[in-house]
């Protein structure tokens, strides 16, 4: 009895217990829905067979139909724009801010903390906020751009098909900026100061120090930040209903919002599942990059 | 001798904290100078000011005749060996050695050739492809030195480079650094808190405390003629014994303020009745059964075989070092004597040597 008990409290038994709780949790709440989703994308699903698992097998029919939709190309393009625009904006601005706050000026840490406000705010709130900022006739952004003379006429960020994808992308950059900055700050703080001093004495100027010390030392952090950025951007949903609802005429629609529209507006669950399975492929690649880049976090 | 580094009236403030106070120091070309003192004395700050990693608040700093205040570190043409070595972890040894050369217009082949030469000098030829994490402490130390010598700087700055090594390696590297310095004919400034390192390696020792240079000079000069009680206590191991004493009526001897009030003859005449601090080096106190000057009970005896350290029962306690194995054991009484010229005298309030 005591042997069993001690194996639970400090032996392998306890380890196995902890791991299995996690595994059961993951399998039940992530694994199963995932598999169910994939299965559904190969089936014919309608309102009558929604509550059964054995539905007619559709082969690749759902995929063929999704791909042949007239809006497919546009949404693909928009998704790529949204994802890469967001990641590029978040990363470059986040890196710049992280470097800026590494300089020791009064209240640097406090101000950096305040930046996190954008990250802790719910996406819908951020969406509503940016909805007002970007509003055509009375929006703050237009007022500022007009005031400093960048534009002459009113820009209809949310209703102009050429601008609407910019509207959601800008909002998303703002939303993810703080998160990027925080992760990159941690990476920067982990680089020993004397490396920079040694490089400086070796003759490196600021640009050299950035390219030959900061970037290589940050390689794993950068990989992780970019991969997480891709994952979070593909997950970003709240901004779309709050700002443009994917419109006008799908000009700001992206895959994740499209999948939701299929499933919960058109009740075409099979196509909704199909779109999300296609996205799964991209997220999987990002996840592999993330795991790979954080595999040796120990610095030499 | 041509001065290589000239420091004149240098002050450094960190806000309200006065880190360096009116530092004046001239380092001749080819000299090995040690900056030594307890932690917080400003020795590292001074070294980093020479490197340009810290800015000086006022005063002049010249390297090879050129005024350096306001000149960024990369344009000062000095090399530094850091306590942590500060090797670039993402570059192999070759990359570490040749990093500075890429800013000096060397092409890959020339840099490689130069790195091979340096690797030869410091014995790293086999390790050029290794990364810092694959090297031992001593090897990392060598890479740090190689990185410093490859660009043939006007001065080498060492910031406690040996403190991360074990004792045996430290003694070995001490000699190696000094030998390298002599071979290169370099000018070196070496910061350490270890007075033994300073004494054994340097031509010129600068003792600092609380941002002030207490004394500078040749190592044995500091040992023989310390300018004050601080330097006297800092230089020499084990440390000098200090006792309160009063100059006797004849003016040529001092009465120690310990049990029995023993009297020691002095080599000079002082005003009778004057209070002084007497400094006695442990190695100058000799055991003398024939005509002992003071008899003190022993509390602890420690022997390494070659040397015996005895600590006395007196208040304050005295430390005595004798060659070989001790003849006396704890609890016995030591008959001691000291040559009058070996007695150091200090003013009890200011601490200055008399």
- Kindly tell me if the per-residue pLDDT of B232 is higher than 90: yes
Between B36 and A14, the more confident residue is B36
Asked if residue B159 lies in contact with residue B190, where contact means CB atoms within 8 angstroms, the answer is no
Q: What is the pLDDT of residue B247?
A: 92
- Asked if A199 and B73 come within 8 Å (Cβ–Cβ), the reply is no
CA distance B312 to B20: 39
B227 falls in which pLDDT band (50, 70, 90)? very high
For residues A254-282, give the mean pLDDT.
88
Give residue for tokens 């492929």.
Answer: A281
Could you tell me if residue A41 is inside a domain?
Answer: no
Encode pLDDT of A174-206 as tens digits.
998 989 999 999 999 999 999 999 999 999 999
As a whole-number percent, the residues of chain B with pLDDT over 90 amount to 64
A299 falls in which pLDDT band (50, 70, 90)? very low
Could you tell me if residue A6 is inside a domain?
Answer: no
Q: Which domains does chain B have, with CATH numbers?
A: 3-226 (3.40.50.300), 241-346 (no CATH)
Could you tell me if residue A38 is inside a domain?
Answer: no
**Chain B residues in contact with A219 (beta carbon < 8 A):** 90
- Kindly tell me if the per-residue pLDDT of A293 is higher than 80: no
- Among the residue ranges A105-114, B15-24, B235-244, B247-256, the one predicted with the least confidence is A105-114
Q: What is the pLDDT of residue A11?
A: 67
Encode pLDDT of B153-185 as tens digits.
999 999 999 988 888 888 988 998 999 999 888
- Asked if B103 and A208 come within 8 Å (Cβ–Cβ), the reply is yes
As a whole-number percent, the residues of chain A with pLDDT over 70 amount to 95
- Asked if B86 and A213 come within 8 Å (Cβ–Cβ), the reply is no
- Kindly tell me if the per-residue pLDDT of A288 is higher than 80: yes
As a whole-number percent, the residues of chain B with pLDDT over 70 amount to 100
**Chain B residues in contact with A212 (beta carbon < 8 A):** 88, 99
CA distance A209 to A76: 39
- Kindly tell me if the per-residue pLDDT of A1 is higher than 70: no
Among B99, B115, B118, B150, the strongest candidate for a mutation testing the A interface, having the largest count of A CBs within 10 A, is B99
Q: What is the pLDDT of residue B285?
A: 92
Q: What is the pLDDT of residue A298?
A: 45
Q: What is the pLDDT of residue B199?
A: 93
- Asked if A192 and B86 come within 8 Å (Cβ–Cβ), the reply is yes
- Asked if B79 and A201 come within 8 Å (Cβ–Cβ), the reply is yes
Encode pLDDT of B20-57 as tens digits.
999 999 999 999 999 999 988 999 999 999 999 999 99
Could you tell me if residue A59 is inside a domain?
Answer: no
Encode pLDDT of A219-242 as tens digits.
888 888 988 888 889 888 888 888
**Chain A residues in contact with B52 (beta carbon < 8 A):** 201
Distances (CA, A) of A167 to A74, A93, B340: 16, 17, 91
- Kindly tell me if the per-residue pLDDT of A95 is higher than 90: yes
Asked if residue B73 lies in contact with residue B150, where contact means CB atoms within 8 angstroms, the answer is no
Nearest CA to B19 out of B31, B29, B11 is that of B11
For residues B245-273, give the mean pLDDT.
89
CA distance B169 to B190: 18
Could you tell me if residue A37 is inside a domain?
Answer: no
For residues A52-74, give the mean pLDDT.
85
Residue A103: domain span: 70-293
Interface contacts (A, B; CB < 8 Å): 63
For residues B115-123, give the mean pLDDT.
89
For residues A260-288, give the mean pLDDT.
87
Q: What does the radius of gyration of chain A's CA atoms come to, in whole angstroms?
A: 24
Nearest CA to B251 out of B229, B284, B276, B232 is that of B276
For residues A70-93, give the mean pLDDT.
92
Q: What is the pLDDT of residue A150?
A: 82
A268 falls in which pLDDT band (50, 70, 90)? confident
Length of chain B: 354
Q: Whole-number mean pLDDT of chain B?
A: 91
Helix or strand (DSSP H, E) at B91 = none
Q: What does the radius of gyration of chain B's CA atoms come to, in whole angstroms?
A: 24
- What CATH number is given to the structural domain containing A219? 1.10.3720.10
Could you tell me if residue A2 is inside a domain?
Answer: no
- Kindly tell me if the per-residue pLDDT of A294 is higher than 80: no
CA distance B159 to B182: 19
Sign of CA dihedral B285, B290, B296, B297: positive
Nearest 5°: phi and psi at B116? -65, -40
For residues A13-28, give the mean pLDDT.
90
Q: What is the pLDDT of residue B1?
A: 66
- Among the residue ranges A113-117, B13-17, B195-199, B222-226, the one predicted with the least confidence is A113-117
Q: What is the pLDDT of residue A296?
A: 62
As a whole-number percent, the residues of chain A with pLDDT over 90 amount to 30
Give residue for tokens 């000018």.
Answer: B187
Q: What is the pLDDT of residue B135?
A: 92
Please report the ipTM that was assigned to this predicted complex.
0.84
The total of structural domains in chain A comes to: 1
Length of chain A: 300
For residues B3-25, give the mean pLDDT.
91
- Closest residue to B53, CB basis, from A197, A213, A216: A197
- Closest residue to B80, CB basis, from A201, A216, A300: A201
Nearest-Cα residue of chain B relative to residue A192: B86
Could you tell me if residue A154 is inside a domain?
Answer: yes
Could you tell me if residue A23 is inside a domain?
Answer: no
Q: What is the pLDDT of residue A300?
A: 39
Asked if residue B174 lies in contact with residue B162, where contact means CB atoms within 8 angstroms, the answer is yes
């Amino acid at each position: 009895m005591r042997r069993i008990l001690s194996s639970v409290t400090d032996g392998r038994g306890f380890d196995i217990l902890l791991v299995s709780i996690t595994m059961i949790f993951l399998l039940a709440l992530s694994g199963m829905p995932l598999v169910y989703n994939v299965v559904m994308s190969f089936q014919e699903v309608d309102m009558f067979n929604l509550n059964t698992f054995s539905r007619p097998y559709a082969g690749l029919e759902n995929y063929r139909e999704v791909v042949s939709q007239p809006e497919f190309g546009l949404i693909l393009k928009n998704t790529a724009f949204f994802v890469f625009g967001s990641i590029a904006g978040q990363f470059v601005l986040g890196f710049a801010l992280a470097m800026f706050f590494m300089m020791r000026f009064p209240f640097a840490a406090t101000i950096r903390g305040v930046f996190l406000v954008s990250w802790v705010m719910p996406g819908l709130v951020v969406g509503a906020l940016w909805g007002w900022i970007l509003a055509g006739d009375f929006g703050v952004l237009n007022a500022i751009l007009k005031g400093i003379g960048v534009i002459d006429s009113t820009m209809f960020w949310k209703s102009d098909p050429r601008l609407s994808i910019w509207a959601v992308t800008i909002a998303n950059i703002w939303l993810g900026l703080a998160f990027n900055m925080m992760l990159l700050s941690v990476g920067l703080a982990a680089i020993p100061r004397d490396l920079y001093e040694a490089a400086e004495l070796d003759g490196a100027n600021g640009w050299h120090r950035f390219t030959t010390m900061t970037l290589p030392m940050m390689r794993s952090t950068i990989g992780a930040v970019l991969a997480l950025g891709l994952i979070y951007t593909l997950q970003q949903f709240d901004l779309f209903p709050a700002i443009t609802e994917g419109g006008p005429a799908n000009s700001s629609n992206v895959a994740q919002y499209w999948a939701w529209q299929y499933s919960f507006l058109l009740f075409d669950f099979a196509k909704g599942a199909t779109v999300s399975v296609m996205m799964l492929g991209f997220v999987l690649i990002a996840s592999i990059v993330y795991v790979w880049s954080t595999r040796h976090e120990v610095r030499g | 001798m041509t001065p290589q580094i000239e420091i004149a009236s240098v002050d450094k403030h960190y806000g309200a904290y006065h880190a360096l106070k009116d530092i004046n120091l001239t380092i001749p070309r080819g000299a090995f100078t040690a900056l030594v003192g307890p932690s917080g004395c400003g020795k590292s700050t001074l070294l980093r000011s020479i490197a340009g990693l810290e800015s000086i608040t006022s005063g002049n700093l010249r390297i090879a005749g050129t005024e350096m205040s306001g000149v960024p570190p990369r344009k000062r043409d000095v090399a530094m060996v850091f306590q942590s070595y500060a090797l670039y972890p993402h570059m192999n040894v070759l990359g570490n050695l040749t990093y500075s050369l890429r800013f000096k217009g060397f092409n890959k082949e020339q840099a490689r050739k130069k790195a091979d030469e340096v690797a030869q000098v410091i014995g790293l030829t086999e390790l050029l492809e290794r990364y810092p994490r694959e090297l031992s402490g001593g090897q990392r130390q060598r890479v740090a030195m190689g990185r410093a010598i490859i660009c043939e700087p006007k001065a080498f700055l060492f910031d406690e480079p040996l403190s991360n090594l074990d004792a045996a390696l430290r003694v070995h590297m001490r000699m190696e650094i000094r030998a390298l310095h002599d071979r290169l004919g370099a000018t070196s400034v070496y910061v350490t808190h270890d007075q033994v390192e300073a004494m054994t390696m340097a031509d010129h020792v600068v003792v600092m405390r609380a941002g002030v240079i207490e004394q500078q000079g040749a190592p044995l000069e500091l040992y023989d003629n310390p300018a004050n009680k601080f330097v006297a206590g800092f230089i020499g191991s084990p440390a000098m014994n200090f006792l309160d004493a009063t100059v006797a009526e004849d003016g040529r001897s001092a009465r120690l303020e310990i049990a029995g009030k023993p009297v020691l003859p002095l080599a000079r005449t002082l005003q009778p009745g004057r209070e002084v601090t007497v400094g006695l080096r442990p190695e100058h106190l000799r055991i003398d059964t024939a005509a002992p000057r003071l008899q003190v009970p022993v509390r602890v005896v420690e022997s390494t075989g070659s040397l015996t350290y005895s600590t006395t029962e007196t208040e304050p306690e005295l430390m005595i070092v004798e060659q070989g194995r001790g003849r006396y054991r704890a609890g016995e009484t030591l008959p001691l004597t000291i040559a009058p010229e070996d007695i150091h005298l200090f003013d009890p309030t200011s601490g200055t040597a008399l």
